[in-house]
Amino acid sequence: MDELLFKHEVFQTIGAATEVHRELGPGFLEAVYQEALERELTDRKIPYQSQVPLRVRYKGCYLKKHYVADFVVFGQCLLEIKAMDRLTDRETSQLLNYLRATSLPLGLIVNFGSEGKLEWKRLAMTHSLRGPSPLPLAALRGEE
């Protein structure tokens, strides 16, 4: 059986998100969770960038419109945060589209709004979903 992609990095990231959820619980706006998670990632020395503008490629060209990722952790994992009652297929589809457009290999959706345990999903870019070969994050941000 194949090893999970970025297994340890995902474990560390979800651990940080779980701590934020444990401390704050549900009910806040995404911006509150964004700031709290930034502090927790920093405290745990997890490399991240927040509010990262990512360029979207279409047929080999970049579009003028860009997507702003909540986080990119460990340089290769897209992390989207939500504050809603529960995740739906819409959020999963959205993250898959972001992965396809950016060619990042892994995405996480973390929902701080659910009661009880932190709700999260892990989505890996499979060969069938992958578009063009991945570009360095700097290129996706337009720093070529």
pLDDT value of residue 143? 54
More confident of the two residues 105 and 132:
105
Task: Assess contact for 128 and 100: CB atoms under 8 A.
Answer: no
Q: What are 53-111's pLDDT values in tens digits?
A: 888 878 888 889 888 899 999 999 999 999 999 999 999 998 998 888 777 899 999 99
Above 70 in pLDDT, residue 131? no
Tell me which of 29-43, 46-60, 68-82, 106-120 is least confident: 46-60
User: Residue 101, Cβ neighbours under 10 Å: how many?
Assistant: 18
Task: Assess contact for 109 and 13: CB atoms under 8 A.
Answer: no
The percentage of residues in the chain with a pLDDT greater than 90, rounded to a whole number, is 58
Q: Which long-range contacts (CB under 8 A, 24 or more apart) does 17-24 make?
A: 17/81, 17/110, 17/112, 17/118, 17/120, 18/118, 20/112, 21/112, 21/117, 21/118, 24/112
pLDDT value of residue 135? 47
Mean pLDDT taken over the chain = 86
Task: Assess contact for 119 and 87: CB atoms under 8 A.
Answer: yes
Above 50 in pLDDT, residue 50? yes
pLDDT value of residue 132? 47
Token couple for 6 = 């970025």
Q: What DSSP state is assigned to residue 128? A: T
pLDDT value of residue 133? 46
More confident of the two residues 68 and 2:
68
